[in-house]
């Protein structure tokens, strides 16, 4: 007789919120899974985690998690997190953000939270487009891609979010993809244990929008294949020149260092008196 | 300590906020409000609390939302351009029922406008600046002691009704240094509510007309807070019946308590035939004008709104039964003028003294207008 077994990670999910709203083949489900795996491996207290989302497909992940959660307007997650973290440094704050949410509308907050080394973990789901609104160009959309707002191809340069984070002052930064579950889970674990601003960028397939418009395929496997073919490890990338690295996604860890975390714009010490 | 002091209006706001146990400030400097941020940056850290200068006003109100949800009493202060940037988060705070206090020291607009000149032209923005139907409370002090008491009231109302409260302050009042006698600590009423234990995570569940229970957020229950329309659990929904119920709950938590929220002052109104409707610095010019007019035997009185939103419709309607003429005095091109027109009786003669060039009215100008009737 076949024994019915529930996924051991199911205990972290708000049962009443299922079924989820992600499209078949979307990477968000995988990423939710990787995050829960990381939490479970670390045996983190789920009651001490706040998950936050702005607006977007990615931003909906917190709705399914059985943590204290906040899901508000588009792009402002880091601003709320700043207010929360100052009063509740004991809590782990985890932000699920789409590429549009984090570096288009929320770009300014991203720079400053990195600069301040705000003690939060950002899980960036980079699906190369604005998925929720139906597949428009994002700051991460590859040059020349056709999207719903770039019918003749995108003529804008893309942003390297990891480079941006490092130069702005983030203290743990890595990039992986949904095709690299082991590395991604490991990296999320590191980010969750890191004290300071940690960013894990996960390249993810959006078959419904980016796939169909930019790659002319709605097949999740093919979109994933496209990501894999363009991905290259950091160690390999170090040996290549700029020309050879064109259109490549570099995977790996870009920084892991310690720096005092943000505690307020000005701090009073007795001797200041 | 009870003694006369000379304090700047902005500092009175900041001192009152601390007296109301405000323990978090996030803001972005802007004339003519910056002294509030500066004062808070000095005082809050020495009390062991947090001050943040955020990267812009969007982030400032965002940080206030996060801190408020975590259990802090929060304040931010800004002026027109910054208030415009805050509208998105103001709506989120209304939707998710998050208490916070915003001071808008108004300056001439639109856009960067007249940074150092007074203006009363953000009144409609305070009411309808954020999109969607929503309840809002906006208070409008005119005298130094009112700046203090209304700031405390703003915190009390926001805590009681779980709604953002806006303080509209005139540039002249914010920048002027005036005599003030601060009340004793024991004489200050601070609203304190008991924290309700959450049952079944129904954080928004209540009867229509009831103010929401205080939510114990971030205690691992686990609660969900959303900017989307939500059900009693806070979970997103677009079910028409639930949406209808939640909208009604949010509106009625304010409109069932108008007696408590709507505050105003009347001067020389007992036998008045002419009524001036005004607020803030214009109410001060108007009061001086009323006194001059009375010396000339003109039966004129002043209705000074301290709560500008919800609009003092009920007390004004009462007065419209008595008076024959109404004069609205405001430093804008006609904003509350239309509210007055909407609620006054047809046989009440209406005039308005309006100006938006950065110069407040003198009492003589108001007097001249009274005599035009
Ligand atoms: C102020 C504002 N502007 C625009 C929108 C519409 N909007 C919703 S999600 C989104 C972009 C989503 O893209 P991304 O953050 O990459 O998330 P994804 O859906 O791709 O996961 C936009 C533009 C909004 N909700 N609020
Ligand atoms: Mg996206």
Residue-wise pLDDT tens digits, A76-113: 999 999 999 999 999 999 999 999 999 999 999 999 99
Asked whether residue A35 is domain-assigned, the answer is yes
Residue A57 CB less than 6 A away from ligand 1: yes
Whether A168 contacts A115, CB under 8 Å? yes
ipTM above 0.90, yes or no: yes
Name the residue facing B53 among A68, A91, A265 (closest C-beta). A265
Q: Write out chain A residues lying below 8 Å of B41, CB-based.
A: 265-266
Neighboring chain A residues of B62 at a CB cutoff of 8 Å = 76, 78-80, 82-83, 109
The structural domain count of chain B equals 2
My answer on whether omega of the bond before B114 falls inside 30° of 0, hence cis, is no
Evaluate whether residue A12 is within a structural domain: no
Identify residues whose C-beta is under 5 A from ligand 2, the ion. A 98-99, 127, 131
Check A264 against B24: CB less than 8 A apart: no
Q: Specify if A111 maps to a domain.
A: yes
Q: What is the pTM of this model?
A: 0.97
Flag whether residue B74 sits within 8 Å of chain A, measured between CB atoms: yes
Question: Domain check: are B18 and B119 in the same one?
Answer: yes
CATH number at residue A117: 3.40.50.970
B169 and B289 belong to one structural domain? no
| Ramachandran sector of residue B134 (left: φ over 0; alpha: ψ -120 to 50; beta: rest) | beta
Domain annotation covers residue B315: yes
What is the CATH number for B146?
3.40.50.970
Q: Which domain holds residue B338?
A: 266-371
In a domain, A242, yes or no: yes
- Tell me if A269 is assigned to some domain: no
Please provide the size of chain B in residues. Answer: 373
**Domain stop point among B187, B222, B237:** B187
Say whether the peptide bond before residue B226 is cis (omega within 30 degrees of 0).
Answer: no
The tens digit of pLDDT for each residue in A224-253 reads 999 999 999 999 999 999 999 999 999 999
H/E stretch holding A256? strand A249-256
- The answer as to whether B240 is a domain residue is no
Same domain, B46 and B139: yes
Q: Is residue A20 part of a domain?
A: no
The three-state secondary structure class of B127 is: helix
pLDDT at B196 over 80: no
Q: What is the pLDDT of residue A166?
A: 98
- Domain tally, chain A: 1
- Domain boundary residue among B187, B206, B232? B187
Question: Which DSSP string corresponds to A174-216?
Answer: EEEETT-HHHHHHHHHHHHH-SS-EEEEEE---IIIIIIIIIS
CATH of the domain at B363: 3.40.50.920
Domain termination residue (choose one: B187, B219, B254):
B187
Q: Which domain holds residue A236?
A: 27-257
* Helix and strand counts by DSSP (H, E) for chain A: 9, 8
Is B254 within a domain? no
User: What is the 3 state secondary structure string of A101-162?
Assistant: HHHHHCHHHHHHHHHHCCCCEEEEEECCCECCCCCECCCCCCCCCCECCECCCCCCCCCCHH
Tens digit of pLDDT for each residue in B24-72? 999 999 999 999 999 999 999 999 999 999 999 999 999 999 999 999 9
Residue A124 CA to residue A138 CA, distance in Å, equals: 14
pLDDT of residue B1 exceeding 60, the answer is no
Q: Is residue B165 part of a domain?
A: yes
Q: What does the block give as tokens for B5?
A: 């002091």
B176 and B322 share one domain: no
A119 within ligand 1 shell (Cβ under 6 A): no
Greatest mean pLDDT among A1-10, B214-223, B289-298: B289-298
Q: Which residues face A251 on adjacent strands? A: A233
The reply to whether B96 falls in a domain is: yes
On whether any CB of chain A is under 8 Å from the CB of B51, the answer is yes
User: Quick check: is B137 in a domain?
Assistant: yes
Tell me how far CA of residue B341 lies from CA of A118, B128, B331, B338, in angstroms: 51, 18, 17, 5
Partners of residue B51 in chain A, C-beta under 8 Å = 264-266
The b/e string for B185-203 (b: 16+ C-beta within 10 A; e otherwise) is: eeebeeeeeeeeebeebeb
Residue B55 at interface with chain A, using a CB cutoff of 8 Å:
yes
- Answer yes or no: is pLDDT of B2 > 70: no
Residue nearest to atom 26 of ligand 1 (CA): A74
* Alpha-carbon separation of residue A194 from A17, A28, B98 (angstroms): 30, 23, 30
Residues B155 and B286 placed together within one structural domain of the fold: no
- Among A130, A148, A206, A213, the mutation site with the greatest number of ligand 1 atoms within 8 A of its Cβ is A130
Q: Which of A27, A55, A107, A212 to mutate to test the pocket of ligand 1 (most atoms within 8 A of CB)?
A: A55
E strands, chain B, where? 4-8, 24-27, 50-53, 74-78, 100-106, 137-139, 164-170, 177-181, 224-226, 264-267, 274-278, 300-305, 307-309, 325-330, 349-354
Distance from CA of A126 to the nearest CA of B (A): 23
pLDDT of residue B211 exceeding 80: no
In the prediction, which pLDDT does B78 show?
98
User: Confidence band (pLDDT; 50, 70, 90) for A16?
Assistant: confident
């Amino acid at each position: 007789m076949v024994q019915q077994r529930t996924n051991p990670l199911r205990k972290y999910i708000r049962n009443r919120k299922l079924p989820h709203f992600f499209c078949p083949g979307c990477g968000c489900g995988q990423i939710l899974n990787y995050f829960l795996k990381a939490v479970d491996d670390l045996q983190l207290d789920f009651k001490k985690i706040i998950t936050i989302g702005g607006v977007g497909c990615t931003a909906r992940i917190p709705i399914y998690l059985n943590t204290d959660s906040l899901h508000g307007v588009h792009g402002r997650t880091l601003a709320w997190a700043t207010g929360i973290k100052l009063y509740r440094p004991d809590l782990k704050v985890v932000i699920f953000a789409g590429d549009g949410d984090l570096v288009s509308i929320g770009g300014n907050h991203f720079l400053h939270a990195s600069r301040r080394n705000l003690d939060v973990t950002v899980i960036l789901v980079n699906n190369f487009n604005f998925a929720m609104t139906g597949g428009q160009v994002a700051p991460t959309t590859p040059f020349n891609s056709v999207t719903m707002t770039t019918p003749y191809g995108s003529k804008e340069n893309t942003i390297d979010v990891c480079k941006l984070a490092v130069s702005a002052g983030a203290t743990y930064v890595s990039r992986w993809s949904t095709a690299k579950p082991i590395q991604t889970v490991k990296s999320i674990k590191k980010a969750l244990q890191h004290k300071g601003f940690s960013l894990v960028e996960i390249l993810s397939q959006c078959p419904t929008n980016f796939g169909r418009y930019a790659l002319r395929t709605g097949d999740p496997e093919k979109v994933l294949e496209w990501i894999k073919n363009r991905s290259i490890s950091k160690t390999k990338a170090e040996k290549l020149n700029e020309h050879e690295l064109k259109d490549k996604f570099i995977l790996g860890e870009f920084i892991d260092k310690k720096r005092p975390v943000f505690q307020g714009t000005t701090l009073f010490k007795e001797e200041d008196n | 300590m009870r003694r006369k002091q000379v304090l700047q209006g902005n500092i009175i706001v900041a001192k009152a906020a601390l007296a109301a146990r405000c323990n978090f400030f996030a803001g972005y400097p802007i004339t003519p409000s910056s002294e509030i941020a500066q004062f808070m940056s000095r005082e809050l850290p020495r009390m062991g609390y947090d001050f943040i200068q955020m990267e812009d006003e969007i982030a400032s109100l965002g940080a206030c939302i996060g801190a408020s949800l975590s259990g802090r009493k929060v304040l931010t202060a800004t002026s027109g351009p910054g208030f415009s940037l805050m509208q998105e988060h103001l709506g989120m705070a209304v939707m998710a029922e998050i208490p916070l206090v915003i001071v808008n020291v108004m300056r001439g607009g639109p856009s960067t406008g007249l940074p150092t000149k007074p203006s009363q032209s953000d009144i409609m923005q305070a009411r309808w600046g954020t999109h969607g139907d929503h309840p809002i409370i906006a208070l409008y002090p005119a005298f130094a002691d009112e700046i203090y008491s209304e700031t405390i009231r703003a915190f009390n109302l926001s805590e009681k009704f779980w709604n953002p409260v806006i303080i509209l302050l005139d540039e002249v009042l914010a920048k002027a240094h005036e005599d003030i006698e601060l009340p004793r600590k024991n004489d200050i009423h601070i609203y304190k509510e008991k924290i309700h234990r959450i049952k079944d995570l129904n954080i928004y569940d209540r009867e229509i007309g009831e103010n929401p229970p205080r939510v114990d957020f971030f205690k691992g229950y686990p609660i969900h807070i959303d900017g989307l329309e939500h059900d009693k659990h806070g979970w997103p929904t677009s079910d028409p019946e639930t949406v209808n119920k939640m909208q009604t709950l949010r509106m009625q938590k304010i409109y069932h308590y108008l007696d408590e929220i709507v505050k105003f002052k009347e001067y020389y109104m007992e036998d008045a035939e002419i009524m001036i409707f005004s607020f803030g610095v214009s109410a001060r010019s108007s009061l001086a004008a009323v006194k001059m007019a009375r010396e000339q035997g003109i039966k004129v009185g002043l209705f000074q709104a301290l709560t500008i939103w919800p609009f003092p419709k009920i007390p004004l309607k009462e007065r419209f039964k008595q008076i024959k003429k109404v004069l609205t005095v405001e430093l804008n091109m006609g904003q509350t003028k239309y509210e007055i027109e909407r609620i006054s009786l047809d046989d009440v003669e209406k005039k308005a003294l309006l100006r938006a060039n950065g110069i407040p009215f003198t009492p003589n100008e108001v007097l001249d207008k009274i005599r035009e009737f």
